[in-house]
Amino acid sequence: MQPDLGKVYLVGAGPGDPGLLTLKGKALLECADVVVYDALISPQILTMINPQAEQIPAGKRRGRHSLGQSEITQLLVEKAKTEAIVVRLKGGDPFVFGRGGEEMQELVGAGVSVEVVPGVTSGIAAPAYAKIPLTHRDYSSSVTFVTGHESAGKYRPEVNWQAIAHGSETIVIYMGIHNLPYIVPQLLTAGLSPETPVALIRWGTFPEQEELVGTLSTIVTQVEAVAFEAPAIVVIGSVVNLRAILSGNS
Ligand SMILES: C[S@@+](CC[C@H](N)C(=O)[O-])C[C@H]1O[C@@H](n2cnc3c(N)ncnc32)[C@H](O)[C@@H]1O
């Protein structure tokens, strides 16, 4: 470890609602020298940043990259050479489909000291705000978190949808909206019932949160009909039916 380097904190900002930022994350924002932040961070969380800190947007949205992954890592290494507290603020939890592991690997490789501050992940928070418990003693004793983002030149191992279909009672898919026309037939071929309930939660925990509920046989048509867009979490399984009960609608 090089003694003259500062420290990089990989901080999870949570899914959107500023109240879901951890106390440790907030304290670091308040004393940071530099904050490099992602696209889906709530503007209210950005107001918590030390006014003297340099603020650098590094946001990624589908098809639009303001800074490439290697540029971000290079930037963090450079900043750690001159500043004491460098915060890398990431949506949700840094280690859940947030490339936090990859960034930390490169930073550690460059001799930079790194600490992770976990965040509330959208795959848990968005269903919770939609009144969908991911486990329930009567309906589900297991959950799978999986990426639905499988594009050409993908960097992750291929998702085994056959195994996912049978691996747990609840399936939570990140980055799955655009691939639903591919994912749903995979799950049906694997043997899931067409009547399996599905909920999509968009902008979960933000004031703009929207939900779309259907079944495996209807959801793709529903998404097309209302042009339901990312960022959204997909929840599949009978726990989705609890939403109506917990909302007092049944
Ligand atoms: C690159 S992943 C980052 C996940 C993040 N690290 C986390 O723990 O929530 C981005 C995906 O997370 C999901 N996501 C993030 N924030 C969300 C929100 N507020 N509501 C619904 N989905 C969200 C969407 O599936 C989106 O496409």
pTM: 0.94
Q: What letter represents residue 152's amino acid?
A: A
In the predicted structure, residue 241 carries a pLDDT above the cut 80: yes
Task: Check if 33 is active-site.
Answer: no
Nearest atom (ligand 1) to Cα of 149: 27
Q: Is the pLDDT of residue 65 over 60?
A: no
Query: CA 16 to CA 219: how far, in whole Å?
Result: 25
Q: What is the distance between the alpha carbons of residues 187 and 19, in angstroms, rounded to a whole number?
A: 35
The CATH number of 7-120, from 3.40.50.2300, 3.40.640.10, 3.40.1010.10, 3.40.50.720, is 3.40.1010.10
Partners of 22 in the β-ladder? none
pLDDT at position 7 over 70? yes
Ligand 1 pocket test target in 89, 233, 235, 236 with most atoms within 8 Å of CB: 233
- 8 A C-beta contact, residue 43 and residue 57: no
116: left (phi over 0), alpha (psi -120 to 50) or beta: beta
pLDDT value, residue 152: 47
Instruction: For residue 131, indicate whether it is catalytic.
Output: no
In a mutational test of the pocket of ligand 1, which residue from 60, 174, 206, 211 has the highest number of ligand atoms less than 8 Å from its CB?
A: 174
Domains 7-120 and 123-246 share a fold: no
Q: Which CATH class is domain 123-246?
A: alpha beta
Residue ranges of the alpha helices (H) in 121-160? 122-129
pLDDT tens digits along 156-208: 568 999 999 999 999 999 999 999 999 999 999 999 999 999 999 999 999 99
Q: Which of 125-129, 153-157, 177-181 has the lowest mean pLDDT?
A: 153-157
Q: Where are the domains of the chain?
A: 7-120, 123-246
